[in-house]
């Protein structure tokens, strides 16, 4: 079970957040943000999801301050959405 949300700034994709329920009945959070580079490569959704899923798979707890600034302002709304989605499982995302 997983929920995700892409993050946009000025109409451009800049990141993705996911929350996934593990087999131990806990909800883990992961994110990926766009790294601005010299080549101006477009945001790669698949690559970003892989990074976010890898962070969620570690089972590490991320406090709100650990989340990159580009994503942080969307973090609380995503947390509220996750609480509704995973209503039978407590969601702890550092808020």
- Render pLDDT for 18-42 as a digit per residue (tens, 0 to 9): 999 888 888 888 889 887 665 677 8
Q: State pLDDT tens for residues 53-76.
A: 998 888 777 777 888 888 888 888
What span, in angstroms and rounded, lies between the C-alpha atoms of 6 and 78?
10
- The four Cα atoms 84, 79, 29, 50 give a dihedral, to 10 degrees, of 90
Q: If you compute the radius of gyration of the chain from its CA atoms, what whole number of angstroms results?
A: 13
- pTM value? 0.83
**Structure token digits, residue 71:** 């994503």
How many Cα atoms sit within 13 Å of 36 on the Cβ side? 2
pLDDT at 5 over 90: yes
Domain boundaries of the chain, sorted by first residue = 2-85
């Amino acid at each position: 079970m997983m929920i995700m949300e892409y993050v946009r700034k000025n109409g451009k994709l800049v990141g993705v957040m996911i929350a996934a329920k593990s087999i131990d009945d806990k909800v883990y959070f992961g994110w990926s943000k766009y790294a601005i580079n010299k080549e101006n490569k477009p945001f790669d959704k698949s690559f970003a999801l892989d990074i976010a899923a890898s962070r969620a798979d570690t089972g590490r707890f991320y406090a709100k301050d650990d989340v990159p600034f580009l994503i942080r302002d969307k973090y609380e709304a995503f947390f509220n959405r996750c609480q509704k989605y995973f209503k039978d499982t407590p969601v702890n995302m550092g808020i």
